[in-house]
Structure 1
C-alpha cells in the first residue's frame, strides 16, 4: 500500500514536470481513492513539481508557454481535489470571519499556491477577495482601500518576483494604508527571514500554515475586541 502510494505521489510530480496531463489526473484520482489527504498531494508532489518548473523557467529551459500549460494541468487536478480540500480545511474552521485580499505579485503568473490558500481560507469560514496573478502595487493598494480587509496576502513562486513585495509595502506606506492591514506573504521564493527583512507581518510556509496563521490572528482580534467591549 505504502509503496503504491509513494509511487503515485512521485508520478504526480514527474508527470506534472513533464506536462503530461492524463498521467497527472490519473495519479491524483488513484491517490484520493487510496485515502491520501488532498492537501498532502498538493503541498507535496504538486508544489514540488511547480517549484521544479519555476526553476526550469528561471534557467531558460522552460518558457511562458510551459508555465501556462503547467498551471492549466494544475487547475484541472485542483478541480478533482477541491471538494476534498474543502472538507479537510473546514476542520481548521475559525471562530471569527476575516476579510482577506489575496494575489500573486507583478511579474508572476503562478496562481497555484495562492488559489489553494484562497480555497482553504474560504472553507475555514473567511471571506476572500482574489485579485489573481501579476498584480501590481497600485492594484493591491486600491483593493485595500476599496474592501478594507483585515489581511492582505501576497504570493510569489520566483525569486525575481518576490522582491516586488517590498514595493507593495512601500506603496501601502505611502498611501497611509500600511497600519490598517496585516500583511502575510508566502510562496516558494519567500522565507521567514525574507518576510522580516521587508517588514511583512507574517509568513506562511504553505497553505495549511497560512490558514492556521490567519485563524490565530482572528482569535487575537476577537479577544482584543472582547477586551475593548
Structure 2
C-alpha cells in the first residue's frame, strides 16, 4: 500500500509515540502511506479531535478536527484517517492543480472510489475549500499516470477546451492496440503529451503521424510558466487542422 522507505516508517513510528493518544495521521502523511502521496511534504501531518491540545513539536504539522473521526484505519501499525477523508482534506487545502493530482492518484491506486470521494465531499459541506473539492471530485480520473499529467488535463479544461481522454488507446489497421497517448482527442486525432514523463518513443510518434495524428509535447516550462500558450497550441491543433 505504501512506497515509503523503511527509514521513513521508523521515523513515523518514533514520532507517533510522542503524540496524544487520540492523534491520527492525515493529509500528506496518510496519503503517502495509502500510496497516493504525489505531493510531498517535509512535516508529519496529524489531526487531533476537537478540544484536544495541538502538539507543538518541530517537524509536526498538527490540525484540529472539525469533523468526527468516522473512519480510522491501521496502516502498517500506524493509525490513519480514511483515504477518502485524507484525499478530500488535501483537495480542499492544496492548490487547484495539485488537488486534482491527489484525487486522481487516490483513485489510481484503489485507495478509494469515486463514490467514496463524493460522499466525503458531502460531509465537508460548509468547510473552507470545499467548493474547490466539490468542483474537482467529478473530474478525478484513475487513468492519469503522473502528477504533471493531471495538471496538464486540468489546464486544458480550465482553458475551456474539451476534456481529453487519459491514456487513449490507438489501434492499428487490424484493430489491435498499438500504443496509448497520454491525453488524446480521438475524433480530431490530436495527442497531448507531458514530455517529462512520455512513454512514446520516436517510432511510435512517427507511426501516429503517418495516421493523421497531430502530437503536441509540453515541458514543465510550458505547463507552469506559460499555460495560456499551451492551451492556444492545443486549440489550434483541434480547430485548425492541417
Tell me the TM-score range normalised by the shorter chain. Answer: 0.3 to 0.5
TM-score, length-scaled by structure 1: 0.41
**Larger fraction in strand:** 2
Larger radius of gyration: 2
Larger fraction in helix? 1
The alignment's TM-score, normalised by the length of structure 2, stands at 0.39
